[in-house]
Structure 1
């Protein structure tokens, strides 16, 4: 890795980096807290690899920092970005992910496309250096055996020392085996400055015991002096023991403890194998280049780790595929000559090119103008329809900032952007048109923050439907709902920042102005006791008149019974042909509500008597009479308002169980049980009125410091407290 003799192989600036064999590809996702320095690290690696010059630009003037205009305004990453580099004969696809929790869908896409992960930890973020979200992602990577390394940034403004922060990472990420998280290098510090900080001028390689000095702007190797040797020995011994503990050679530990000097090549080979297996996680330090330096501190070492220690796509488990109708598919491998299997991991829109799909190829080779089969992804419940169509793709390209550089082809294991896939959405599978296949989509977080909107003007109303369709096509973590009860258009988002980005994209990208309105929950009404009503609709105004009289009884029913209509008319008081008219009238009135404008449920309506006229009675007249009778019955008894109650399952770290349960009680919730789960977490089950959890996605994040997750499902409607009901009636009257 960085301790090996290294030779720089920069990628030529301004051209696309291509891969000719999966063995030369490395797909790496960067994970870390917002502000940890992921994007800055990508830029530093690009400079060292020769993809950009010292000004951060290439021959065509593009920069990695040519972000989406929304990212400029929000001053943070909100989407997954791909930066391909070339180093040591390898193509490195760096996947930079947003660190903010609202954009975890972009992180999930990056994890899906990658074969290894770099966890970026900032020494300047003392309290949040390793946040709860990063811990959970680490555990997810561990569950699937994804190789991981840790990069410490911001040492120049460190609030936490490198040794201390490495210990924090070992404790949190290492768990039961803290010796699986150890530094490969120690920072070398220069003289202390006036602000109290000592600048990091180089790195000390623990295996080779060489100093890699960056103070001159170039990386130079020197031997350590006598004052540094004692500091190195302890850290070096622990690193060697950690590497040997993961070695496949079971005799190595005994030989080492017996005093044998293990040769450097054996240690490096075992280190690389342990990293690739995901059982050892090296810690490195990195910083961007300053004062015209050719390479940022630690970037050479990090690139060598990626090319030497991270696995190739050939080493990953091939995905399981089926046919679109669910039959088992062929066993695939990472073979450029195999059947085409690729997955859309991100969808974006370009105002000039149109829809651009970032795809990860798992098998086969993709070329411009190929015709592929697009298979759906099973997210119809979020407004993403299933697909089963053939499409001809356009150009293949590799992104660099806002630039798209043409690619002649893309092979198994690689990533590429595909133009003109008008039907494909994130999560879809691309395969050969004569051999359609389907991959199981990855798990997406459930959007739980509602954003109710309506078009700002008639012109916007005409464009809203298309704009929303394009918006949800790009973002599978967003759910579009057309609520039939409240007649609202609702975008379900992951948080407030996610909602802000959605609104800005509608406005800037799709030219649709919308207004945000209060989100309504689906309330119901029911009778609090038995009642009776008489509906009389008699009018005479020349020609045929209108004549219908009906008498009904209304009785409450158990929850969930709906509307029950019973005919008990005797003697033909209401002709048989008009009884369905009465039922239609009372059901229509029940749907409109009888008190506050919410649908009436859980009552039995019994038609017991009435009168008709041989000439003037009609279907319309008896519908009106039935509605009047129900309204009169409602005026003579108490009408209860029913609110929907959700069952919540909240997964939270043990230390936050108390605050979470207290908060749920303050929301009129009832805790119905707790359950201890793995990883020092507790699952809290509670029933909470939906009126009280509109912002729970935001509030839980605050209460649990980002470690809490929850799911919700509809349980039932039940009567709400009188004071709440009075308030909702007033709101219903205002909206009438």
Structure 2
């Protein structure tokens, strides 16, 4: 694996094809923004012959180029697939965004992949978010390897980076994270920095020299051998510790020379099991060079050590009625079960779905069943429909290269699935299935929007529907209390991308407006009011008088109407009219225009006219009576309070609790939540946490997560309530 020499077998302009699952590797690249994932993908494409110059396809666009927004934002914002071929193995490289706002794209990549490459920068180290993803992969047993990039940086130190990775990724067993090679430095430059020119294989003790622009293998110089002795011994011991051959360690300690082939096979098996995590080094090719540093070694690791789709368990499936089905097998002849892991829109082709096939074979022009989980809370409709599959293709940059079929274990693009959304299941129309959904992060940053013009208003609904279909991490809310259209997002960069897509893809210009929370009003004590509606302007008049008493009720009680009229002062047929008028006024509010709740209104007395009294007159009188009662009473503004749970590293518990207190929050307690992590529980007014998704990321250096759930409405402090009333009066 790590020290074998193979010639590349890719070909520029041709879509790699797979005829059996064993010849496929699905690999997701994980790392923080700027770690070098996209550059690494481009280097691998060049090394395999998929491109003829670094990162470029025939039309000159980038091999990872899918979205014009990425050019403007200068960062990856979505999952991209780059298929390459090496020694007759098709490798689907899934390049994910490193920015936290696009973690939904990362999770889609993890779902479609069978192994992960964690890309870390030798100049920047490992951030908290990357460490958390590593822990998630460890929990499900996904095989992982580490690639160290940016070795050309003046402050890069490979040995130090390996130590950091062992500490962060190795946990209690750092010897499961070990390098397969050591970097070989070239001649020292005038600034004192010696660039990395090659690699020394620790198992084979061979030098792989990239200084000429292509990989050349040779014997090490005598001075190299002492450098690798300790690292080589640790690597061999680490491999033996993971070997299934229990006699191997005794033989090694007894001085018996071990067969290199046996060590490599044990290493490959340990990597595929997810119990050993090799560290490799990589750098892009220089201008005009054929291969970048470490690309061949990395390709050999992927093809030899990473598991095939046959070795990974498929997601659980049920019938549409929720009845469990037997586990799927990665069999091209089995029942069709595929999943849409990404949805995009092309201005010329229309909707394009990136699909991972877990069982069966997907073919163009066949009819499949599309089933989804709905996620109505996020604005996604539930649907179960039959659709005809369009053309199948293999994406490569902005190109779509036609393929004849997509077998179990492979990934392809499907055109014209007009109803399919991200997360939906594709199956046989005669045997429809539903795949267990993957975990999506909750969008917790609200942004309210309004159409910029009447023309935009006409197109807004359709544009939002397309956004929802593409991005399951976004939640669309039509708030009935505030009458606002609210997009719930993962962060500010997520907001920018969504609004940019609305404008550029769907021609809808929107304006962001202040987000409103659902405030309420209630009476602070008993009050009485008299509503008098008497008008006579010729002809049929209007006459209605009613007297009411209002009293507050406990939180959550709602509204009660009590009739205590005696003697028929208000005729029976008009008592419901008074209640109707009171209810209408409660909806409008009496102080700042917010709905009134938790009150009991008692109708005590009134007067009617045999000719001029009517239903409408007593409705008006009831509303007037409530407003008069409010004029002389204390009216409380109620604000929604959320129960907030914050999961954070122990080192940030103090700053998080202090910040919650500054938001008028009441910290209810803390509890351990695993090694080095604490769960903080607090009640916080919702008006104070509208931007908490952004602020927590800053406070916790990207390691904190939180959830929120509506708890109740509570009286707003007088100074805050006065400000809200003043704003309402201005409007």
Identify the TM-score tier after normalising by the shorter chain.
over 0.9
Deviations 1:115-136 (A, max 9, x none): 00000000121xxx21111011
Residues in 2 aligned to 1:30 and 1:105: alpha-carbon distance in whole angstroms: 14
- Say whether the 8 Å CA contact 2:2–2:264 is kept in structure 1: no
- TM-fit CA distance, 1:60: 5.1
- TM-fit CA distance, 1:464: 0.4
Matched residue SS, 1:644:
strand
Query: In the comparison of the two structures, how many residue pairs are matched?
Result: 731
Residues in 1 aligned to 2:687 and 2:31: alpha-carbon distance in whole angstroms: 34
**Residue 311 of structure 1 corresponds to which residue in structure 2?**
307
Alignment of 1:575-594 (within 5 A): 575-594=571-590
Match of 1:411 among 407, 411, 416: 407
TM-score by length of 2: 0.99
Deviations 1:136-191 (A, max 9, x none): 10000000000000000000014240000000000000000000000000000012
Q: 1:77 to 1:56 in 2, by over 3 A?
A: closer
- Say whether the 8 Å CA contact 2:451–2:457 is kept in structure 1: yes
Residues in 1 aligned to 2:238 and 2:137: alpha-carbon distance in whole angstroms: 21
- TM-fit CA distance, 1:380: 1.4
Residues in 2 aligned to 1:56 and 1:73: alpha-carbon distance in whole angstroms: 18
Q: 1:531 to 1:343 in 2, by over 3 A?
A: same
Residues in 2 aligned to 1:60 and 1:522: alpha-carbon distance in whole angstroms: 52
- TM-fit CA distance, 1:666: 0.4
Alignment of 1:290-439 (within 5 A): 290-439=286-435
- TM-fit CA distance, 1:616: 1.0
Deviations 1:382-423 (A, max 9, x none): 001111110001000010111111010000000010011100
Residues in 2 aligned to 1:108 and 1:55: alpha-carbon distance in whole angstroms: 28
- Say whether the 8 Å CA contact 2:57–2:63 is kept in structure 1: no
Runs of 4+ in 1 over 6 A off after TM superposition: none
Matched residue SS, 2:223:
coil
Deviations 1:707-727 (A, max 9, x none): 000000001000111101101
Alignment of 1:22-33 (within 5 A): 22-33=21-32
**Residue 658 of structure 2 corresponds to which residue in structure 1?**
662
- Are 1:477 and 2:473 matched, yes or no? yes
- Are 1:679 and 2:675 matched, yes or no? yes
- Are 1:9 and 2:8 matched, yes or no? yes
Residues in 2 aligned to 1:406 and 1:228: alpha-carbon distance in whole angstroms: 49
- Are 1:535 and 2:535 matched, yes or no? no
- TM-fit CA distance, 1:563: 1.1
- Say whether the 8 Å CA contact 1:149–1:282 is kept in structure 2: yes
Residues in 1 aligned to 2:480 and 2:52: alpha-carbon distance in whole angstroms: 56
**Residue 500 of structure 1 corresponds to which residue in structure 2?**
496
Matched residue SS, 1:609:
strand
Residues in 1 aligned to 2:618 and 2:118: alpha-carbon distance in whole angstroms: 71
Residues in 2 aligned to 1:2 and 1:121: alpha-carbon distance in whole angstroms: 20
- Are 1:618 and 2:614 matched, yes or no? yes
Residues in 2 aligned to 1:8 and 1:576: alpha-carbon distance in whole angstroms: 95
Give the CA RMSD over aligned residues: 0.9
Residues in 2 aligned to 1:494 and 1:300: alpha-carbon distance in whole angstroms: 37
**Residue 168 of structure 1 corresponds to which residue in structure 2?**
164
Matched residue SS, 1:391:
strand
Alignment of 1:624-639 (within 5 A): 624-639=620-635
- Say whether the 8 Å CA contact 1:123–1:158 is kept in structure 2: no
- TM-fit CA distance, 1:226: 1.4
Q: 1:367 to 1:361 in 2, by over 3 A?
A: same
- Say whether the 8 Å CA contact 2:39–2:55 is kept in structure 1: no
**Residue 90 of structure 1 corresponds to which residue in structure 2?**
89
Matched residue SS, 1:572:
coil
Residues in 1 aligned to 2:97 and 2:651: alpha-carbon distance in whole angstroms: 27
Residues in 1 aligned to 2:266 and 2:300: alpha-carbon distance in whole angstroms: 15
**Residue 197 of structure 1 corresponds to which residue in structure 2?**
193
**Residue 111 of structure 1 corresponds to which residue in structure 2?**
110
- TM-fit CA distance, 1:261: 1.2
- TM-fit CA distance, 1:483: 0.4
- Say whether the 8 Å CA contact 1:377–1:429 is kept in structure 2: no
- Say whether the 8 Å CA contact 2:43–2:54 is kept in structure 1: no
Residues in 2 aligned to 1:662 and 1:323: alpha-carbon distance in whole angstroms: 49
TM-score by length of 1: 0.98
Residues in 1 aligned to 2:54 and 2:417: alpha-carbon distance in whole angstroms: 35
Residues in 2 aligned to 1:58 and 1:375: alpha-carbon distance in whole angstroms: 35
**Residue 80 of structure 1 corresponds to which residue in structure 2?**
79
- Say whether the 8 Å CA contact 2:647–2:704 is kept in structure 1: yes
**Residue 716 of structure 1 corresponds to which residue in structure 2?**
712
- Say whether the 8 Å CA contact 2:84–2:93 is kept in structure 1: yes
Residues in 2 aligned to 1:352 and 1:322: alpha-carbon distance in whole angstroms: 36
Residues in 2 aligned to 1:679 and 1:344: alpha-carbon distance in whole angstroms: 35
Residues in 2 aligned to 1:715 and 1:704: alpha-carbon distance in whole angstroms: 25
Match of 1:459 among 452, 455, 458: 455
Residues in 2 aligned to 1:258 and 1:251: alpha-carbon distance in whole angstroms: 11
Residues in 2 aligned to 1:8 and 1:536: alpha-carbon distance in whole angstroms: 95
Deviations 1:683-732 (A, max 9, x none): 00000001110100000000000000000000100011110110111122
Residues in 2 aligned to 1:54 and 1:453: alpha-carbon distance in whole angstroms: 44
Q: 1:65 to 1:430 in 2, by over 3 A?
A: closer
- TM-fit CA distance, 1:62: 4.8
Matched residue SS, 2:560:
strand
Deviations 1:457-478 (A, max 9, x none): 1110000011001001100000
- TM-fit CA distance, 1:614: 1.1
**Residue 446 of structure 1 corresponds to which residue in structure 2?**
442
**Residue 40 of structure 1 corresponds to which residue in structure 2?**
39
- TM-fit CA distance, 1:65: 4.3
Residues in 2 aligned to 1:732 and 1:435: alpha-carbon distance in whole angstroms: 57
Deviations 1:9-30 (A, max 9, x none): 3322112111100000000000
Matched residue SS, 1:624:
helix
- Are 1:602 and 2:598 matched, yes or no? yes
Question: Please, which runs of 5 or more residues in structure 1 have no aligned partner?
Answer: none
Question: Please, which runs of 5 or more residues in structure 2 have no aligned partner?
Answer: none
Q: 1:663 to 1:270 in 2, by over 3 A?
A: same
Match of 1:706 among 677, 689, 702: 702
Residues in 2 aligned to 1:318 and 1:79: alpha-carbon distance in whole angstroms: 24
Alignment of 1:251-262 (within 5 A): 251-262=247-258
**Residue 54 of structure 1 corresponds to which residue in structure 2?**
53
Residues in 2 aligned to 1:206 and 1:369: alpha-carbon distance in whole angstroms: 51
Alignment of 1:114-263 (within 5 A): 114-125=113-124, 129-263=125-259
- TM-fit CA distance, 1:529: 0.7
Residues in 1 aligned to 2:441 and 2:85: alpha-carbon distance in whole angstroms: 33
